């Protein structure tokens, strides 16, 4: 599988933005307020529309006033657009989605082709039509106008699974250090990492996963020997415990640094999701982590990223840019209030022996600077 291009229009500051030739691991660098988070949220919004329907998705993102393309005029500001060109199971596919009338009664428009052959078609205010390989077609009359018909194409390509498994992580180290309650979700890591202990308790039953976590944590935190979870006596929940070389007792998560728990959340997110279809989006993974640790984290994310499970991160960190490759780096800016992005590899000057972060800070790529 590969993402040939993704195009988004009509979401907050993203008036219209196209990303082409995306690598499985991508770094979106730019100043605060450039729209990096808006771009990540736009992908999550697509996921919510396809999984929940447009009405519930808009409600999940706090209403039309919070998500509309505020740099667009009239009807364009009421319409969200998404387009993806990709290769899945060695088949070229093209899928487009429009959400019309987001401020009143949302209605979807969809079109899916596989190898140039129409599979799904839906016009605004009309029923969805599915086209089968034998040349026959069927109409879905009972589907609400705001609910995606992509679920009916699962037999053709895994696009529905891919687009409904998009998650943005904005980890909160203080919350992640707290013991999990007994009712914490053990199937999906919370977007803030608040159930990381419960997730680890389930995942550490897999010896390979446990070994990976320990190996990476010893790279990130010199002296770290062991990580495990244990029941929390008072609440009945789960707590993370750590052990350092030369120290007999284990100590709880609330005694370690924010950077360490932050790195553990990132590893749990990436390793737990890497075997399935979906997109993992991580905001500012460098927070509280030593530059050498950032290099190790980038190696981990790049190693676990794949065409069926891309990992995209946002940053304004020199260390993270330095650890990136030029073709992985996307420069995000805001021009006339609209978010724009370009790939450093496609707009690369001859940087010679300069490190990537030095070239970036010298503005040799003309954009995406952290200020």
The whole-angstrom separation of Cα 180 and Cα 268 is 15
Report whether 355 contacts 322 (CB < 8 A).
yes
Residue after which a domain boundary falls, among 241, 260, 275 = 275
pLDDT at 223: 78
56 and 157 fall within a common domain: yes
56 and 146 fall within a common domain: yes
pLDDT at 320: 96
The whole-angstrom separation of Cα 337 and Cα 89 is 39
β-sheet with 137-140: strand ranges across: 14-20, 2-11, 80-88, 91-100, 107-114, 117-122, 128-131, 137-140
Would 102 be classed as within a structural domain? yes
Would 107 be classed as within a structural domain? yes
Would 300 be classed as within a structural domain? no
Residue after which a domain boundary falls, among 163, 190, 209 = 163
The 8-class DSSP code of residue 345 comes to: T
Return per-residue pLDDT of the chain as tens, 371 residues: 566 899 999 999 999 999 998 999 999 999 999 999 999 999 999 999 999 999 999 999 999 999 999 888 877 889 999 999 999 989 999 999 999 999 999 999 999 999 999 999 999 989 999 998 888 999 998 899 999 999 999 888 999 999 999 999 999 999 999 888 877 888 899 999 999 999 998 888 888 888 888 888 888 877 788 888 888 776 678 889 888 887 878 888 888 889 889 999 999 999 999 999 999 999 999 998 888 889 999 999 999 999 999 999 999 999 999 999 999 999 999 999 999 999 998 866 677 788 899 989 888 888 778 77
The whole-angstrom separation of Cα 44 and Cα 50 is 10
The 8-class DSSP code of residue 68 comes to: B
Domain assignment of residue 8, given as a range: 2-24+33-163
Query: Residue 283: phi, psi to the nearest 5?
Result: -85, 125
Would 67 be classed as within a structural domain? yes
Would 146 be classed as within a structural domain? yes
Would 318 be classed as within a structural domain? no
Helix (H, G, I), strand (E, B) or coil at 34: coil
93 and 182 fall within a common domain: no
Task: List residues bridging with 60 in a β-sheet.
Answer: none
Query: Residue 80: phi, psi to the nearest 5?
Result: -105, 140
pLDDT at 118: 96
Report whether 330 contacts 26 (CB < 8 A).
yes
49 and 195 fall within a common domain: no
pLDDT at 183: 79
Q: Domain holding 98: CATH number?
A: 3.40.50
Would 134 be classed as within a structural domain? yes
pLDDT at 134: 82
Report whether 193 contacts 175 (CB < 8 A).
yes
Instruction: Give the pTM.
Output: 0.94
The 8-class DSSP code of residue 277 comes to: S
pLDDT at 61: 97
Would 123 be classed as within a structural domain? yes
Neighbouring residues of 207: CB distance < 8 A, sequence distance ≥ 6: none
157 and 209 fall within a common domain: no
The whole-angstrom separation of Cα 299 and Cα 137 is 47
Comparing CA positions, the residue from 185, 223, 200, 334 lying closest to residue 271 is 200
Report whether 103 contacts 109 (CB < 8 A).
no
Report whether 100 contacts 44 (CB < 8 A).
no
104 and 155 fall within a common domain: yes
């Amino acid at each position: 599988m590969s993402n040939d291009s993704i195009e988004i229009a009509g979401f907050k500051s993203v008036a219209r933005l196209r990303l082409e030739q995306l690598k499985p691991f991508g770094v979106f660098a730019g100043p605060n307020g450039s729209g990096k988070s808006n771009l990540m949220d736009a992908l999550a919004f697509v996921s919510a529309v396809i999984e929940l329907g447009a009405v519930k998705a808009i409600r999940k993102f706090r209403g039309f006033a919070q998500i509309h393309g505020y740099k667009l005029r009239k009807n364009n500001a009421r319409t969200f657009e998404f387009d993806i060109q990709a290769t899945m199971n060695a088949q070229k596919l093209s899928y487009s989605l429009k959400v019309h009338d987001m401020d009143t009664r949302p209605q979807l428009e969809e079109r899916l082709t596989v190898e140039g052959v129409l599979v799904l078609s839906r016009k605004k205010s009309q029923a969805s039509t599915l086209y089968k390989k034998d040349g026959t077609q069927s109409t879905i009359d009972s589907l609400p106008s705001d609910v995606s018909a992509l679920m009916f194409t699962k037999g053709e390509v895994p696009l529905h699974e891919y687009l409904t498994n998009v998650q943005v992580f904005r980890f909160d180290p203080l919350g992640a250090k707290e013991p999990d309650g007994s009712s914490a979700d053990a199937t999906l890591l919370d977007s803030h990492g608040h159930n990381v202990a419960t997730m680890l308790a389930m995942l550490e039953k897999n010896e390979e996963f446990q070994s990976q976590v320990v190996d990476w944590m010893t790279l990130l935190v010199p002296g770290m020997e062991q990580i495990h979870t244990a029941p929390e006596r008072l609440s009945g929940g789960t707590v993370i415990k750590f052990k350092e070389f030369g120290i007999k007792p284990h100590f709880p998560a609330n005694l370690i640094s924010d950077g360490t728990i932050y790195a553990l959340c990132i590893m749990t997110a990436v390793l737990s999701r890497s075997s399935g279809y979906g997109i993992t989006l991580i905001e500012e993974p460098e927070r509280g982590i030593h530059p050498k640790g950032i290099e190790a984290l980038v190696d981990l994310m790049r190693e676990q990223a794949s065409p069926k499970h891309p990992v995209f991160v946002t940053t304004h960190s020199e260390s993270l840019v330095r650890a990136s490759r030029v073709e992985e780096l996307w420069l995000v800016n805001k021009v006339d209030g609209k978010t724009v992005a370009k790939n450093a590899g496609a707009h690369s000057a001859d940087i010679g022996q300069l490190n990537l972060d030095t070239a970036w800070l010298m503005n040799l790529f003309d954009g995406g600077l952290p200020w």
